[in-house]
Amino acid sequence: MKKLIILSVLFSLVFSFTTVGNKVKRISDVVYDHRDGAALVFDVLIPEKQNGIAVFKMVSGGWTSYNAAIHSINEFKEFTDHGETVFLVSHGSKPRFKVPEIIDQIQRAIQYVRYHAKTFGVDPNRFGITGGSSGGHLAVSAAVFGKDEVSEAEYRQMHSLKNTDIVDPVNLVSSKVQAVACFFPPVNLVNYNHPDSTFADFKNVAIFVDAFDINKDTPRDRAKEIFRESSPYFFITPSTPPILIFQGTKDLLVPYSQAKSFIEKLKENHVPCQLITNEGAAHGWTYNRADDLTMIRWFETYLLKR
């Protein structure tokens, strides 16, 4: 019954949105989960001709999210023109939600779309993800920490549920993505600027430390443990999906060494990867259409062949 209700709501949403420019349809505020009484939502940009690829865009800055409505359809014109369906994912924000919780929310959004893949017109085996800065961190984390599908029996055992407890079928599907293309992601929070410098030691990002439930009284060893748990660098395996990173050499928030060492670690594990260096660029730069086209080629290379 619950499944039928969810699908009926989605059905009504799909036929209630309007067509806006360049034959792209937008669904706004699709609820993919509830956390602590708050609804977590995403917007969907659906091109008239879809190629099956789903691209998850993290609506995130400093692990704080906002209304996806701030992003216009035209911002993703290159993607939709190529047939890619874009999901603008808003997540819970710091300091209310901590980074591990936010990563879990992103995984839930991926599961929700995979469970309803036919409704959205996407292929569940062609999921790409992108974001910048904290959004880049969440994108890479989704790739590294993604989970396989589980049976209902396995899920009940994992969460100590009784046979009478209701299990949301969305939670049973995989939360994995198959490709990543992101901008200047912080990926190693333990060795941030140099081997003996954590994320908390780097003064330029000190205002974001509360996203990890760390403060000035947190013991250094404990802080390192917390940072390691949320650092995808330490959890790369040969099964990590292909990752493309854009990084500026003069970034004052995310050191260039973050991307360089991460790419080296990916290569050690034989993971397809690429680092595009923007010489002299700081933390972000003026929109460049070439960046979009590079990401699109990356996604098509590793997703259309699947």
Q: Quote the pLDDT of residue 306.
A: 60
| Cβ-proximal residues to 48 (8 Å cutoff; 6+ apart), any chain | 23, 24, 25
Give me the pLDDT at residue 195, please.
87
The pLDDT assigned to 305 comes to 77
Number of Cβ within 10 Å of residue 45's Cβ equals 25
Quote helix, strand, coil % in the chain, to nearest 5.
40, 20, 40
Element containing residue 196 per DSSP (H, E): none
* Over residues 182-205, mean pLDDT: 95
Measured between alpha carbons, how far is 212 from 221 in angstroms, rounded to an integer?
A: 14
Give exposure, 167-184, as e/b (b: 16+ Cβ within 10 Å). eeebbebbbbbbbbbbbb
Q: Judge whether 227 and 198 are in contact, CB under 8 Å.
A: yes
CB neighbour list of residue 290: distance below 8 Å, 6 or more residues apart: none
Which H, E and C letters describe 56-71, residue by residue? EEEEEECCEECCHHHC
**In the chain, how many domains are there?**
1
Q: Which residue range forms the structural domain that includes residue 272?
A: 2-304
252: domain CATH number? 3.40.50.1820
For residues 272-279, average pLDDT: 98
User: pLDDT at position 9, please?
Assistant: 40
Q: Length of the chain, please?
A: 306
